Structure 1
Amino acid sequence: MWIILVALGAGVLLGASGRLPERFLVHLDKLTAGTLFIMLAALGAQIGGNSELIANLPVLGWRAMVITVMAVAGSVGMVWFVGRSLQKGGEG
């Protein structure tokens, strides 16, 4: 968990430092979205490749699917919300 917070903090400091070229900054939205989709695809592949999990899906039932879908939707929604909030904050 700490590595995630350290990476996020390093990104914030790097972005706030003003050392990133403008030609890079204009592509960050696409880079962020692309990276998120790659991470979600990797997560799906990991779940699909786990034969024990797939075998136990009938036992886990629909609740596991609902929790998974809500976790993914919540993550995507928060990234969207924070991104929009930061964009609005920078415009003012």
Structure 2
Amino acid sequence: MVTVLVIMTAGTLVGYFLRNRPKIILTNDKLIMAAVFGLLFLMGVAIGSNPTIIKKLPVLGMQALVIAVVGIVGSVLAGGVVYYFFFRKKS
């Protein structure tokens, strides 16, 4: 856990000092997206290679769908509240 906090703090400091360099920020965005897609792919490989998960997929799928829908609805609502209080233009 300490390692994660140290890495995040170091990343925050580096990001702070590089914030005025748009070329680096654009490259960083592309790298982040590549990393996210790579992690999603590897998670799919791990799920597909697990016979227990594949056998129970119908039940797990319905539970996952419910959890995903509730998570999406909650995120959209929370985002709307945050936008309303912090980011909307005041007339």
User: What is the TM-score of this pair, normalised by structure 1?
Assistant: 0.55
Q: How many residues align?
A: 75
Check 1:3–1:42 CA distance in 2 against 1; reply closer, same or farther (3 A cut). farther
Gaps of at least 5 residues in structure 2 are 80-91
Q: Name the CA shift for 1:24/1:51 in 2 (closer, same or farther; >3 Å).
A: same
Change in CA separation of 1:25 and 1:59 when aligned onto 2, cut-off 3 Å: closer
Q: What CA deviation, in whole Å up to 9, does each residue of 1:26-82 have, x standing for no partner?
A: 301111111111011111111111111111223435113443x55xx79xx8xxx8x
SS of the residue corresponding to residue 26 of structure 1 reads: helix
Cα RMSD, aligned residues only:
3.5
Based on CA coordinates, which of the two structures has the bigger radius of gyration? 2
TM-score where L is the length of structure 2: 0.56
- Structure 1 gap segments, 5+ residues each: 82-92
Identity across aligned pairs (percent)? 35
What amino acid maps onto 1:30 in structure 2?
Answer: K
